[in-house]
Structure 1
Amino acid sequence: MAYNSKRKRDNVVDDEILKLAENEIIRALDLEEYEIKDKIINDLLENGRQSLSKYEEDLLPDIYEAAINENDGKLMKSLKKYFEQQWKIKYGSSNQWFISFLEEYKDAVNYDSVLKRTAEYGHKYFKDCPILSIVLQLLFEGIDDKFFDETNAFNDSWCAITNNGLKSVENFSDNKKRSVLFQALREYYRSKLFELLEKSQVKDRDNLYELALDNVAEYGWLQGLQAVQKRIIPKLFKVLLENIPVSSDTSGMQGKFDFIEYLICLSL
């Protein structure tokens, strides 16, 4: 009971922190008294500053010009502050390792770049797992704006890593970074894997789900599930394999692995 009360208080505090950060965005655009305020803010928090171009007619000209053009102006500063708080509160509240990772990387060369990219484009590059996306962008300095804007490199690396797990970066020798990436991959696979196991009627006996999660995060879908095959009834295991949610974009897989090797070299 006491734990639930504390959790509720923490949630209230977290909501207040995000609300304060949101209010800074509102003030940066001088939107306090305008009915369209909520629509603009919701768009900014989902799609970043680039979405502001849709609202040029709804803002004072000088405020719009400053907001859309100044990379170190009030709007970008307030957006970066909001997203940084969101990372810690929304994604880190149940993942202390992620908060520690963010604190460790706060002074890294590319930390501000990743924040700026998020402020500019919102959740565009978060895919279906913000934690994994943020970790990849911070761990690999080679993932810069050019790779997002001019090539399909990030999509390629995402497919390779989420299909094949940590083994896809087996030449990444930094154990601390590998540990962080492993944790992020566990978060990526967790809901997908548990849903797959439940739908396949595989029972969670003797911590099977967590064991499967560790193996899938380490070796990817196929090899990871094969590692726990003896713990699963054969006909149910067959159902599992038939429903693995592997990315359909498997063309040029070697190129994807080559790109990951390139990123690793840049990070050494």
Structure 2
Amino acid sequence: MAYNSKRKLDNVVDDEILKLAENEIICALDLEEYEIKDKIINDLLENGRQSLCKHEEYLLPDIYEAAINENDGKLMKSLKKYFEQQWKVKYGSSNQWFILFLKEYKDAVNYDSVLTRTAEYGNKYLKDCPILSIVLQLLFEGIDDKFFDESNVFNGLWCAITNNGLKSIENFSDNKKRTVLFQALREYYRSKLFKLLEKSQVKDRDNLYELALDKVAEYGWLQGLQAVQKRIIPKFFKTLLENIPVSSDIFGKQGKLDFIEYLICLSL
């Protein structure tokens, strides 16, 4: 009971932190007195600063020009503050390892770049697992904006690692970084894998779900599930394999390996 009360209190505090950061964005655009502020703010928090052009007619010209052009202006500072708090509050509240990771990387060369990219584009590059996306962007220092907009390299990295797990970057020798990436992959696979196991009528006996999660995070969907095959009824295992949610690979196999090797070298 005491635990639930503390958790509710923590959630209230977290909501207040994000609300304060949101109010700073409203103030930066001088929207405090206008009802349209909620629509504009929601758009900014979902799609970043680049969405502001859709709302130009509701902003004072000087404020709009500064907001859309100044990379160190009030709006960008407020957006970056909001998203940084969101990383900690929304994604890190149940993942202490992620909070520690952010603290460790706060002074890294590309920390501000990742934060700025998020402020500019919102959730565009966070995919369906913000924790994994943030970890990848911070760990692979060689990833800059051109890898997102021009060559689509980030999508290739995403497909490779979400299809094949940690083993897809087996030459990534830094154990500390591998541990963080393994944790992030567990978060990516968790809900997808557990839903798939339930849908396939596989029972969670003797901690099977957690074991399967570890194996899939390490080896990817196919090899990970094959590693626990002996603990699953054959008919249900067949159903599992038929429903693996594999991402389409936009690169040829060798091309994928080459570019991952390149990114790894840049990150060492």
What TM-score results when the alignment is normalised by the length of structure 2?
A: 0.99
Q: Distance in 2 between matches of 1:125 and 1:256?
A: 19
Do the aligned partners of 1:49 and 1:76 also contact (CA within 8 Å) in 2? Answer: yes
> Could you list the per-position Cα deviations for residues 3-24 of structure 1 after superposition, in whole angstroms to 9, with x for gaps in the alignment?
1111111011000000000000
Describe the SS at the equivalent of 1:31: coil
Residue 111 of structure 1: CA displacement?
0.1
Unaligned runs of 5+ in 2: none
- Aligned identity (percent) is 91
User: Secondary structure of the residue that 2:250 maps to in structure 1?
Assistant: coil
How many Å apart are 1:185 and its aligned residue?
A: 0.3
C-alpha displacement at 1:248, in angstroms?
A: 2.8
Misfit runs of 4+, over 3 Å = none
Q: Which moved more, 1:250-259 or 1:229-238?
A: 250-259
Give the Cα separation in 2 of the matches to 1:157 and 1:256: 8
Per-residue deviation, residues 138-184 of structure 1 (Å, max 9, x unmatched): 00011110111111101111000000000001000000000000000
Paired residue for 1:185? Answer: 185
Residue 173 of structure 1: SS of its match in structure 2?
A: coil
Decide whether aligned partners of structure 1 residues 149 and 250 sit closer, same or farther in structure 2, where only a CA change above 3 A counts: closer
| Matched residue, 2:21 | 21
- Cα displacement (A) at 1:104: 0.3
Q: Which residue of 2 aligns with 1:262?
A: 262
The answer (yes or no) to whether the contact 2:25–2:78 under 8 Å persists in 1 is yes
Distance 1:162 1:241 in 2: 16
Given that 2:186 and 2:213 are in contact with CA atoms closer than 8 Å, whether structure 1 keeps it comes out as: yes
Question: Distance in 1 between the 2:226 and 2:233 partners?
Answer: 12
Q: Is the 8 A contact 1:135 1:181 kept in 2?
A: yes
Asked if 1 retains the 8 angstrom alpha-carbon contact of 2:156 and 2:251, the reply is no
CA distance in 2 between partners of 1:237 and 1:35 (Å): 54
When normalised by structure 1's length, the TM-score is: 0.99
Report the CA distance shift for 1:146/1:250 in structure 2 as closer, same or farther (over 3 A): closer
Q: Is the 8 A contact 1:160 1:253 kept in 2?
A: no
The answer on whether the counterparts of 1:157 and 1:257 sit within 8 Å (CA) in structure 2 is no
- Checking the alignment, whether the CA contact within 8 Å between 2:132 and 2:184 is kept in structure 1 is yes
How far apart are the structure 1 equivalents of 2:223 and 2:37? Answer: 50
**CA deviation profile, 1:242-264 (whole Å, cap 9, x unmatched):** 11111133651321222111110
What pairs up with 1:231-246 in 2 under 5 angstroms? Answer: 231-246=231-246
Q: 1:225 to 1:94 in 2, by over 3 A?
A: same
